[in-house]
Amino acid sequence: MKFDRVMVPVDGSSLSQVAVELAVHSAGTFATHLTFVHVVDINAANTFGEVDANITLFKMRTEGKLALEVASKLAAEKGIDYEAKLCEGIPAQILIDMTKENDMAIMTIAGRSGLASGRMGSTARKVIENGFCPILTLKSGSNKVDSILLPVSNENMAAIDVAVETAKRINGKITVMCIKGRKTPNPQEMADRVKGHCTAAGVEADTYVAEGDPLDAIVGQSGKYDLVIMGVEKAGGLKQILHGGLTERVVIMASCPVTVVRDV
């Protein structure tokens, strides 16, 4: 597992700026190269009521260039290796394709319109569902990442590897959280096994066993940590989980950023 190349979609919103600031602050720890990308949504340029789609496209390109300039200036001031890309097309398709050449993506879960009806944006959902690298999702947050909460119900090695590599880079600690339930009748045993993977890799870890509703348990603990890392099953299961399910609700409701790791 490596985090050498990190992609950061930007749209000029205040939340997008949080993602840029986290990426820039973490560069050198999480990554050696940042790619800022803004996608001009060609479908949005043809929305009903627009007199001239070319005028709309010009405005959207200008806004994209400004957003990229702000991100680039911040990275340049810190002496960070970066590139800025202005693309046109379907945002989700382009971002998913770019996850193939990046080790992580840091992105917001909603655009300028915010979280509509308590749901994440369609672009964020599609990228999480189909992306080829871990996705660190933001709805708020700070630059500090010292402690990691790793909720587990099985030994998802993709998520464990991401948690271990993240902890190594930040010299941080992992808390393995397991919730007693039908799938995990022996939560302490499961938590201890995952802790063993972490300590064997040279990372400090402890365990926490909870009971009750998984969403309440994870969200309730999230305020004590800087980052939650959640592993989910392969694409089909992830789509079922995301649409109104546990992962989406944790991403939206957690008090800290959440990294979603798809077991591909």
Express as a percent the part of the chain with pLDDT over 90.
58
Span 42-55, pLDDT tens digits: 887 666 555 577 88
111 and 199 housed in the same domain: no
CATH number at residue 64: 3.40.50.620
Alpha-carbon gap, residue 32 to 119, rounded angstroms: 33
| Residue 31 DSSP one-character state | B
Mean pLDDT of 159-185: 91
223 and 178 housed in the same domain: yes
- pTM comes to 0.87
The predicted structure's pLDDT at residue 145:
82
Which stretch of DSSP H or E encloses residue 229? strand 227-232
134 and 10 housed in the same domain: yes
93 and 163 housed in the same domain: no
Alpha-carbon gap, residue 14 to 159, rounded angstroms: 29
Residue 123: CA count within 13 A, CB half-sphere:
24
197 and 157 housed in the same domain: yes
The label of the residue with tokens 């803004």 reads 38
Instruction: Name the more confident of 29 and 114.
Output: 29
- Give the domain-ending residue among 110, 138, 166: 138
Mean pLDDT of 143-169: 90
The predicted structure's pLDDT at residue 47:
62
3-state secondary structure of 79: coil
97 and 162 housed in the same domain: no
* Range name among 19-33, 57-71, 117-131, 211-225 with the lowest pLDDT average: 117-131
Alpha-carbon gap, residue 64 to 254, rounded angstroms: 29
CA triplet 14, 149, 240: central angle to 5 degrees? Answer: 75
- Give the domain-ending residue among 73, 104, 138: 138
The predicted structure's pLDDT at residue 233:
67
105 and 160 housed in the same domain: no
- Give the domain-ending residue among 103, 138, 173: 138
The predicted structure's pLDDT at residue 28:
76
The predicted structure's pLDDT at residue 111:
58
Q: Please, are residues 135 and 247 in contact by the beta-carbon 8 Å criterion? A: no
118 and 13 housed in the same domain: yes
Q: Please, are residues 150 and 191 in contact by the beta-carbon 8 Å criterion? A: no
Instruction: Name the more confident of 42 and 201.
Output: 201
Span 221-245, pLDDT tens digits: 999 999 999 988 654 444 444 444 7
In which band, very low, low, confident or very high, does the pLDDT at 71 lie, cut at 50, 70 and 90? very high
- The one-letter amino acid code at 18 reads V
Q: Which residue range is the domain that position 9 belongs to?
A: 5-138
Q: What are phi and psi of 43, to 5 degrees?
A: -70, -35
In which band, very low, low, confident or very high, does the pLDDT at 119 lie, cut at 50, 70 and 90? low
Which stretch of DSSP H or E encloses residue 235? helix 235-242
Instruction: Name the more confident of 114 and 189.
Output: 189
Per the structure, the count of domains in the chain is: 2
